[in-house]
Amino acid sequence: MPPDFPSPAPHWRVRAAWAVWLLVLAGLLTRGAVAPHRNNCFRDHYRSGGVNWLAGTDLYGTTADTCRYSPAVHVALVPFSALPEYWGGLAWRAAGAAALLAALGWWLRAVCPPDLSPKARAWVLLAALPLCLGSLNNGQSNVFMAAALLAGTAAAARGRWWVAAAAVAAACFFKIYPIAVGLLFVAMYPRRFGPRFALALAAGLLLPFLAQEPEYVARQYERWLGNLRADDRSAWVLDEAYRDAWLLVRRAGLPLSHAAYQWVTVAAAAAVGGLCLLARWRGVPDRTALNRALGLGCCWMTAFGPATESPTYILLGPTLAWLLVESRRGGPAPWARAPVVLAAVLFFGTCVAVTTPPYGRLVLRTGTQPAAALVLLAVLAAMTLKRPAAAVAPAAGPFVPPVRRAA
């Protein structure tokens, strides 16, 4: 794989797209500074995790402000929780925004098709923004998780396998299901990524034991795993249920039990893994194969994952943007324009609807987000199943005997 050489100065269109991002982020950070008690996941959920870790008290209680992430994430929360609540919240939001911007830029350079024009790159950046707004506004950890997966994919495309393994493993400690992307990379690059990913996961699991008493850490791991096993919203009312394919099953009234649905999720995971292996077997270029694996994995995590909330669809923002531009510019999937535009309408329409709570709840109950994720999953699957066009040899002209030169 090519080394990560410094990129030339970006085109003015790309700079303008980054300027839009910076203006939006400045507005969201200002909103968080002016109204810190509204839409503040750090105050409501995360700060108590860092405070409880420092105090050596139980991390996983039954109150609404409990942080449900792994002990490793609680260690990372300590620097933010040690600050006063107001400044800790601002630092958390700013750190997440910076991580996402850096990872998105790296992914755009290292993973997206190298022949993208400056105009196309600018549109990728702009189209990725709407699905990120909810998590950025609320200060959710999904921002860090999306940044880690983008950075891991970009690092793998550059051949930086230790960085890739560490980044994907970091995403797994926020919510376990990003391990789906890690396992896809393991299947595609078993020797280069697999051992490094296992070591990165082991290091993250052992890190908390260096930051607190071992007995306390072991007890928190037990509580954490118990909470994960008990977290079941399959029968919750539609307003509070997870935004996944099971919501669509319930809305449609299909005669499918939840146990049978879980087998559907396993079958979908196996199909995604098979598609990634097929891409490798056909010799698809690494950056293309990795980009599709990221998209397929994120589609599975959101449509079939065990804990998909509305802001979780930030994970599909970059993939949706790439597919919109790729189908529009007549790339390998011009036929995908209509379904990708349909998915974009569903996603962007939901982003607009949730700004007005009565209509937002109605739209979310209809399952627009998982429906759009399934559309993108189908598009990526069709792109992978389609056999690459064979190179056409030049037509043979009439035979011309060589001219013998005189000695």
Q: What residue ranges do the domains of the chain occupy?
A: 43-56+68-225+243-385
Instruction: Please determine, for residue 6, whether its predicted confidence score (pLDDT) is greater than 50.
Output: no
Band the pLDDT of 281: cuts 50, 70, 90: very high
Say if CB 100 and CB 132 are below 8 A apart. yes
Least confident of 98-102, 195-199, 232-236, 241-245: 232-236
DSSP 8-state assignment for residue 249 = H
Neighbours of 176 (CB within 10 A): 17
Question: Which helix or strand (DSSP H or E) is residue 199 part of?
Answer: helix 194-206
Lowest mean pLDDT: which of 164-168, 337-341, 371-375? 337-341
pTM of the model: 0.91
The token pair that represents 378 in the structure block: 């189908």
Residues 243, 264: Cα–Cα separation, whole Å? 16
Is residue 392 predicted with pLDDT exceeding 80?
no
| Residue type at position 372 | A
Read off the pLDDT of residues 56-65 as tens digits, 9 standing for 90 and up: 999 887 544 4
Percent of the chain with pLDDT over 90: 69
| Residue 9 token pair | 């100065």
Q: Which residues contact 226 (CB under 8 A, 6 or more apart)?
A: 60
pLDDT of residue 212: 93
Q: Helix, strand or coil for residue 59?
A: coil
Query: Is residue 306's pLDDT more than 50?
Result: yes
Structure tokens at 36: 């810190």
Q: Which two tokens stand for residue 325?
A: 């531009």
pLDDT at 174: 92
Average of per-residue pLDDT across 70-92: 93
Count of Cβ atoms closer than 10 Å to residue 255 Cβ: 6
Could you tell me the two tokens for 198? 């296992």
State the CB neighbour count (10 A cutoff) for residue 223: 15
Written as one letter, the residue type at 28 is L
CB–CB of 163/149 below 8 Å? Answer: no
Q: What is the pLDDT of residue 330?
A: 66
How far is it, in rounded angstroms, from Cα 37 to Cα 209? 33
How far the first Cα of the chain sits from its last, in Å, is: 49
Length of the chain: 407
Q: What is the pLDDT of residue 3?
A: 46
Q: Is 393 exposed, middle or buried (0-12, 13-18, 19+ CB in 10 A)?
A: exposed
Containing H/E element for 106? helix 85-110
What CA–CA distance (Å, rounded) separates 77 from 88?
10
How high is the pLDDT of residue 336? 81
Give residue 10's pLDDT. 74
From 177-191, 196-210, 349-363, 371-385, the region with the lowest mean pLDDT: 349-363
DSSP 125: H
For residues 300 and 377, what is the distance between their CA atoms, to the nearest angstrom? Answer: 8
Alpha helices in 213-354 (DSSP H): 214-230, 245-252, 258-281, 286-303, 317-328, 337-353
Is residue 175 within 8 A of residue 316, CB to CB? The reply is no
How far is the CA of 327 from the CAs of 14, 184, 289, in angstroms?
A: 20, 24, 17
Residue 219 three-state SS:
helix
pLDDT value for 397: 45
CA distances from 382 to 120, 303, 379 (A): 23, 17, 5
User: Quick one: average pLDDT of 123-129?
Assistant: 95
| All residues at 6 or more sequence positions from 201 whose CB lies less than 8 Å from its CB, including other chains | 169, 172
Average pLDDT for the chain: 88
